[in-house]
Amino acid sequence: MRAFKRSPWVIHYDASSCNGCDIEVVASFTPLYDLERLGVINTGNPKHADIFLVTGSVNAQNVKVIRTIFEQMPEPRAVVAVGICATSGCVFRECYNVMGGVDTVLPVDLYVPGCAARPESIIDGVLQAAELLEKKRAFMRAMHGDIGMMAIERAFAGDAPEILALQKIVYSNEAEIYNDYTLTPLRQSLDELRKDFETRTFLKAVMGGKIVGSVRGRLEGETADIGWLIVHPYFWGRGIGTRLLGAIEECFPSARRFMTFMGEKARYTMAPFQNMGYAPFRQERISEHRERVYFEKKRQG
C-alpha cells in the first residue's frame, strides 16, 4: 500500500469468459473481500481507468472492443489478464474462433493465474498493477524532455519480451487505421521474435532502463533489409526513429543499398525513413484494403 499514492481505478471487461472469473472479480470489489477499502474503484469509463482487468480469451468478435478500451485509457496504464483463459486461451486456444490470451493483442503487465482466479489473487494482481503504475508514472516524468539521455544499443534475445510488448503497442495504431488486427507484428509470438534474433541485428533505444524504441535489419547481398521501426507513441516526433535508423545503417558497413516496406498509411513510420533519404520505388496491393510501399536508399560514396 505504501507503494502507491493515488486511488487506482479499474475497468473490467469480460472478453469471452464463462463468467467464473467475472464473478470472482465482482467478489473482489464487494464487502467480503472489498478492494474498495484500499481505495480501488471499479469504473465503467476507460477514460477514467488506470488498470484494465480482462477475463476470458480474445476472439474476432471482442478484439476490437479490447483494443478500443485500451486505446481510450490514459497513460500510464496497466493491463491485467485474469484467469487462465485471459492468460493463454486455456483449453479454448485451439478453437477456430479463439485468437489466444489477451497478450495476443495487448501488452499484458500482469497475469493472475487460476480457473477461476481467486479473489485474493485478483486483489494481489490489482495491487501489483497499482505499484507498477507508480513506477511507470515516475519513469514518464523523468523521461519527459530528457531525450539526450537516451542510449541506442544492440538488443539481444533477452530483450524480446520488452520489444514484443512495445511492438504490439505501436502496431495496434496501424491495425486501427486499417481495421485489421491480423498484422504480422501484432500476431508474432515471443518464440518467433526470439528466433528472429538468430538471423537479424536488433537495436534498442533505452531511456531510464526501459526500451522505448527498436529496429531490426538483415544483410542480403549488398542490400540491408531494414524493418519494424518502432517507437513508443509517447515519444513520437522527437527524433528517436531517425536516430535508430542512422544506427542500424552503421551496423551494415558493406551494404550499398537499404530497403524497407510499410503500409501506405503508416505515416508515423514513414517520416523517419523520409528524413533519412529513403524514397519510394514500388507499391503493391496486398489485400482489399491495404497497399504496401517499398522504400530504398543508395549509400553515397
Nearer to ligand SF4, 110 or 177 (CB): 110
Cell numbers placing 227: 524493418
Could you say whether residue 90 binds ligand SF4 (CB under 6 A)? Answer: yes
Nearer to ligand SF4, 108 or 255 (CB): 108
Considering the complex, state which of residue 83 and residue 107 has its C-beta at the smaller distance from ligand SF4.
Answer: 83
What is the smallest separation between the CB atom of 151 and ligand SF4, expressed in angstroms? 41
Label residues 199-217 b or e (16+ Cβ within 10 Å = b): ebbbbbbbbeebbbbbbbb
**C-alpha to C-alpha distance for 297 and 255, rounded to whole angstroms:** 10
Residues 20-59 that bind ligand SF4 (CB under 6 A): 20-21, 55-56
User: What's the CA gap between 194 and 182, in Å, rounded?
Assistant: 20
Least CB distance to ligand SF4 at residue 29 (A)? 17
Query: Residues 89, 98: contact at Cβ < 8 Å?
Result: yes
- Nearest residue to ligand SF4, by Cβ distance, number only: 20
Shortest reach from residue 58's CB to ligand SF4, in Å: 12
CA 266 to the chain's CA centroid = 16
By the 8 A CB rule, do 257 and 247 touch? no
Stretch that binds ligand SF4, among 83-91, 182-190, 281-289, 291-299 (CB under 6 A): 83-91
256 Cα distance to chain centroid: 33
Tell me the closest approach of the beta carbon of residue 31 to ligand SF4, in angstroms.
Answer: 22
Question: Given the complex with ligand SF4, which of 115 and 279 has the nearer CB atom?
Answer: 115
User: What does DSSP assign to residue 103?
Assistant: G
Q: Which of 25, 105, 116, 132 binds ligand SF4 (CB under 6 A)?
A: 116
Give residues with Cβ within 8 angstroms of 198, minimum separation 6: none
Among the listed residues 17, 42, 172, 269, the single contact to ligand SF4 using CB under 6 A: 17
Which of 3, 95, 115, 190 is the binder for ligand SF4 (CB under 6 A)? Answer: 115
Q: How many chain residues bind ligand SF4 (CB under 6 A)?
A: 12
**Adjacency order of strands within the sheet including 151-155:** 151-155, 201-207, 210-220, 223-231, 257-263, 291-298, 279-285
What is the binding site for ligand SF4 (CB under 6 A)?
17-18, 20-21, 55-56, 83-85, 90, 115-116
